[in-house]
Amino acid sequence: MSMNTLTNFLEQAQCQYRVYDLGRIVQKVSNSEFQKVANNEQAYPYPIQQHAFIALTFWQVAAQKEHYVWFLKMPLDEQGLMKITAQTSFIRMVVEAMGEDLTAKISDKLQERLASNPFVYKPSAEKLAIFNANINSAFIRPASSFYPAVQNYFSGEEDWQQWQTLGFQGFADLGARLNYDNNQQKIINALDHLPEQPLQTLSLCLENQNDINTELAEKITQQATKRLQLGQGTTAILLLRAIASANAQGMTKQLLNEQFSSTLIHEADWYITIAGRCWTQLEDETLLNRYFEALATHQQALFPQLFADLVAIPALRDKVLKQLRLTARSPALSQAIGLLFSGLKENT
């Protein structure tokens, strides 16, 4: 039997597994979808700079051993397919280091060899905290020791200014446990009182969660509008990120439309946020066109980079390419597209 794909390898090692994307937001990729990706039957759904940034957690049920995690940065080809040669190279290096028992105890020296594997990478501290929180919640494990203090803070029993000792991991745990301990209501009650720093930290954790209920999404939308009126653009952008994964996508769209009519269209971070976190909203072709028009007008230098980022996302590819063929477009967008093509010619 072939061992040239990650899923073949894990199945042969009699391991069960779960895959999370860590590139844009921390989100689960179903096993059936990942199997198609590993077998090159479909493109990787969330590429960044022609790579898939994934956390692969695996375990052997029969042996009752603990869970193991690989953080992998796998190269994708021009079509967004995960390179089989890269998967095979990674597998070969793992087998050389560990043999075929992926859950065997390994020495520090072997651990070092695995860490220097070119396909292994270290996620940012924030992504790691969110991944740990999500996986502990998914596998019904306890939250971290930082969780009780954050929960207590959000219950409003302490002074709202006393946030300096709260750990990021506790905020991540709160985000991953929205359906427990009355956490959604606690966040709703706290939103009007939060100082800038804890509000921004909360937003970074919420952007990875689709369990946000309608009431909380509504409150975040109101808060984003209020912050924008107060001239707090950075926080307004983070609050847009906070509801990027919410089920109430109508509210995310409403907020996005509102921000299109604001001074945020001059901010580079706003365009980067939409491409990196709210890309699903751009499946609406009217919004996509509005995005490119505003980008070309206000941040033309970013146009090639963000165009390349969005055209690589399988769900958006055809719609993004269609924008190049539109005849009704502003001079600014025509110029941006012209520069895009001249840049492509220079690179060929």
The confidence band for 1, taking pLDDT boundaries of 50, 70 and 90, is: very low
Mean pLDDT of 283-296: 97
Please report the pLDDT score of residue 101 as a whole number: 64
pLDDT(169) > 90: yes
The per-residue pLDDT for 117 is 83
pLDDT (0 to 100) of residue 346: 54
- Is the pLDDT at 100 greater than 80? The verdict is no
Decide if pLDDT at 256 tops 90: yes
Sheet architecture: strand order including 51-59 = 27-29, 16-21, 51-59, 68-75
Predicted pLDDT of residue 62? 73
Q: Are 290 and 35 in contact (CB under 8 A)?
A: no
The tokens describing 228, both together, are 């924008």
Q: What is the spatial distance between Cα 221 and Cα 90, in angstroms, rounded to a whole number? A: 44
The pLDDT, as a whole number, for residue 44 is: 98
For residues 218 and 255, the answer to whether their CB atoms sit within 8 Å is no
* DSSP bridge partners of 59: 16
Close Cβ partners of 347 (under 8 Å, ≥ 6 residues apart): none
Residue 63 has pLDDT above 90, yes or no: no
283: pLDDT confidence band, cut at 50, 70 and 90? very high
**What is the average per-residue pLDDT within 241-261?**
94
- Residue 116: per-residue pLDDT: 73
Check pLDDT > 90 for residue 97: no
**Which SS3 state, helix, strand or coil, does residue 264 take?**
helix
Of 273, 214, 193, 284, the C-alpha closest to 239 is 273
Radius of gyration of the CA atoms of the chain, in A: 22
pLDDT digits (tens, 9 = 90+) for 258-277: 999 999 999 999 999 999 99
Closest listed residue to residue 280, CA positions, set 300, 301, 310: 310
Note the pLDDT tens digit of each residue in 324-340. 999 999 999 999 999 88
Give the tens place of pLDDT for each residue, 214-232.
999 999 999 999 999 999 9
* Phi/psi of residue 243, nearest 5 degrees: -105, 20
pLDDT confidence of residue 108 = 61
Please report the beta strands in 5-94, taking only residues with DSSP state E, as ranges in sequence order.
Answer: 16-21, 27-29, 51-59, 68-75
> Mean pLDDT in the chain?
92
Note the residue count of the chain.
348
Quick one: average pLDDT of 101-114?
A: 62
pLDDT at 302: 96
Which DSSP string do the residues of 185-236 spell out, in sequence order? Answer: HHHHHHTTT--HHHHHHHHHHHTT-S---HHHHHHHHHHHHHHHHTT-HHHH
Whether 106 shows a pLDDT value over 70: the answer reads no
